[in-house]
Amino acid sequence: MSAVSGLRRRSRSAVVGAVLAVVVVVLLLVSLGLGQFRLSPVQVLQALAGDGLGHVVVVQWRLPRALAAVVLGFGLAVAGALFQTVTRNPLASPDVVGLAHGAFTGVLVALAAGAGSWVVLTASAVAGGLAVAVAVWLLASGGVVGGLRLVVVGVGVAALLASVNTWLLLQVELDVAMSASAWGAGSLNGVTAVQTAPAAALTTVLVVGALALSRSLRQIDLGDDVAAATGVRVPAVRTAALLLGVLLVCVATAVVGPVAFVALVAPHVARRLARTPHQPLLLSGAAGALLLLVSDVVAQHALPVPLPAGVVTVSLGGAYLVHLVAREVRRR
Amino acid sequence: MPARSLEAAAPSSSGADRGRRRRAPLLVVLLAGLAALLLAVVLSLAVGAKPLVPAVVLDALAGRGTAEADYVMGLRLPRTAAAVLAGAALAVAGALVQGLTRNPLADPGLLGVNAGAAFAVALGVALLGLSDPWSVLWLALGGACVLSAAVVVVGGVGSASGGSGGGRGGDPLRLVLAGVALGAALSGVTTGLVLSDPDAFDRMRSWNAGSVLGRGWDVLAPAVPFVLAGLVVAAACGRGLDALALGDDLARSQGVRTGRLRLAVVAAVTLLAGAATAVAGPLVFVGLVAPRLARWLVGPHQGRLLVVCLLLGPVLVLLADVLGRVLLPPAEVPVGVVVGVVGAPLLIAVARRSTR
């Protein structure tokens, strides 16, 4: 009985994964054709293979941004799944250790100090996020790795930084505050191959690392004692998973800013689509990639005023989760 | 069928801090809390740009003050009352939400109260140009109530309220997810709205900070009945929440109607947090810190928690407000900012002692 339902669940996961992958690829092709210089998906394919103006527009201008959305959305979602699994808290995301708040504080401080260049802002964001992660880790020391203490300490630190951010926003000039808020929402504007290539490489390595842990994580899901009895080194696996999650978020933050919501929502969407008992890593990644790609397309092409993709991500992801939850309630 | 039961229950914190240390008797905690509240009220009336000695404060309260003291008290009394009202309401709302969801991460904002209030206020400011405290009060209150109702509908709290026939009367995780998702979707729209309108952005960034500055009696009075109603419902829910802490099935076997209970708790949280947010802006962090502190002091029993929260919340907000007046003179730091700065170390200290 359980074997049958397990098999059915696995084949459902495979179908959901395949559908998500196809949708992502199709949307990628469509999005590469959108903009001032409009191309059909077939023309996009020709441009990808061929040369001339179409090749320049599609491969050099649009592809880095679209690929960044796919890869970083994937990475963020995997990070969220890792955090939710390790902390056993469905509301946990890398935000729980204050990464996004710390990154935003870093940028606000840099902006208040008069910095304006992309490199400085990125560096201060990543430095802020990492500093906060280290602080939370130290403050929560002595407890279970990834236990309740880490979560509560992280919430406290995040709230502290949120207060500081609110205050900093009130101190700076209105235009500085607005551009900081736009950055803080997360945006793919101005992303080029220079950022996408290293970010994609790093994300791939980190995701492979996460997949290597997935079997042990599933054992831990059954309980620490069960996992330990089957030879899993529980604290080491937990630490590694949290570290991978933090690094994945740092890579994404460096390129697009704190697009926090993907990490929280994508694992829930994936889990509800596939009806798996745990947060599925790869499916979460696929859902995250789709969410960030759709959001960026909508933010670029469908809105009357240009808005950061992060704003759309929150609305779209939130609305879709509302739909899934409501459907679940109706079905019972 | 098995897929239904796969929703992992949110981790319970009730066991984590139970019986780990000897607690002071409830009476001692209550007396200490009352003394702290009185002290905080006096401080709030005395401290500020024009400091008054406590004797002058007492004279002015008794109607024997100088004209100058009367003027200062006329500004500080409603402000103090606003801090007490918001603090008490948020702390109790937080205790209710943590009991309802069995999740120590829960704060009143989880049910979307904040996001609803912020959206309504942003709409009013951006489209209708309403920004006086009285309009903002009703906008925020209305937004909070509408979004909470939506969360209840989406989260399916009202369904299977009899608790029979396999329905679980609203899974707490599903309720929380509905709140988070609806709140997020709406806050994205709010951000978009505000980012495309500099004037609205400017007003919203100060509303977002949370403040009790300049809240006159006319703004305070309409909020009081909502808070009182919320407190009455909260008091009635205490016993049911204690049973719910043991799990839905055990609660039902004790005769608790879980669906109806959840509905009542959500209503109370909406009234309390909605009114507090309407008065002082989003100070939800109070609703996370105060219940954790109270739980650490008196344990997980809901009745005690609520009473202690009623004292701790106002103390926290009052002290934060007083601190905000003296931190960076002559400017004032908004109370919402100081609450985060003061509350976070408290929360971290308690977490280090009571959780693993």
User: Which amino acid is it at A161?
Assistant: L
Average pLDDT for chain A:
85
The reported pLDDT for the residue numbered A75 is 94
| Helix B285-298 with B67-101: angle, nearest 10 deg | 70
The upper half-sphere exposure of residue A302, i.e. CA atoms within 13 Å in the direction of its Cβ, equals: 9
Residue B212 clears pLDDT 70, i.e. is over it: yes
| Percentage above 90 pLDDT, chain B | 18
Question: pTM for the whole thing?
Answer: 0.81
Query: Which of the four pLDDT bands, split at 50, 70 and 90, describes residue B22?
Result: low
Average pLDDT for chain B:
81
How far is B214 from B80, CA to CA, in rounded Å?
Answer: 11
Q: Per the structure block, which two tokens stand in for A236?
A: 């080491």
The reported pLDDT for the residue numbered B279 is 87
Q: Compute the average pLDDT of residues A4-25.
A: 83
Task: Give A185 to chain B, closest Cα distance, Å.
Answer: 8
CB contact under 8 A, B209 and A265: no
* Cβ–Cβ under 8 Å, residues B112 and B150: yes
Residue A29: its H or E element: helix A2-33
CB contact under 8 A, A170 and B206: yes
Q: Compute the average pLDDT of residues B310-330.
A: 90
Q: What is the pLDDT of residues A267-281, one digit of tens each?
A: 988 988 888 877 788
Q: What's the gap between Cα B53 and its chain centre? A: 31
User: Which amino acid is it at A214?
Assistant: S
Q: Judged by CB atoms within 8 Å, which residues 259-318 of A form the interface with B? A: 261, 264-265, 268, 275-277, 303, 305, 307-308, 311-318
Residue B169 clears pLDDT 70, i.e. is over it: no
CB nearest to B154's CB, from A143, A275, A326? A326
CB nearest to A160's CB, from B4, B13, B340? B340
Q: Compute the average pLDDT of residues B75-85.
A: 90
Query: Which of the four pLDDT bands, split at 50, 70 and 90, describes residue A7?
Result: low
Q: Compute the average pLDDT of residues A166-183.
A: 84
How far is A280 from A270, CA to CA, in rounded Å?
Answer: 7
How far is A125 from A142, CA to CA, in rounded Å?
Answer: 28
Residue A288 clears pLDDT 90, i.e. is over it: yes
Residue B234 clears pLDDT 70, i.e. is over it: yes
Q: What is the pLDDT of residues A184-229, one digit of tens each?
A: 788 888 788 888 898 999 999 999 999 999 888 888 888 888 888 8
The reported pLDDT for the residue numbered B163 is 38
How far is B276 from B93, CA to CA, in rounded Å?
Answer: 10
Q: What is the pLDDT of residues B87-114, one digit of tens each?
A: 999 999 999 988 888 776 678 887 888 8
Strand positions, DSSP E, B186-284: none
The reported pLDDT for the residue numbered B7 is 30
Least confident of A118-132, A188-202, B4-18, B239-253: B4-18
Least confident of A64-68, A238-242, B246-250, B262-266: B246-250
The answer to whether the complex's ipTM is over 0.85 is no
CB nearest to B10's CB, from A89, A181, A313? A89
Q: What is the pLDDT of residues A24-77, one digit of tens each?
A: 999 998 888 888 788 888 888 888 887 777 788 888 888 999 999 999 999 999
Q: How many CB atoms lie within 10 A of CB A117?
A: 9
B2-353 CATH pick, 1.10.3470.10, 1.10.3720.10, 2.60.40.10, 3.30.390.10? 1.10.3470.10
Strand, helix or coil for residue B130: coil
- The 3-class SS string of A113-162 reads CCCCCHHHHHHHHHHHHHHHHHHHHHHCCCCCCCCHHHHHHHHHHHHHHH
CB contact under 8 A, B205 and A308: no
How far is A3 from A93, CA to CA, in rounded Å?
Answer: 32
| Helix B217-244 with B67-101: angle, nearest 10 deg | 30
Residue B284 clears pLDDT 80, i.e. is over it: no
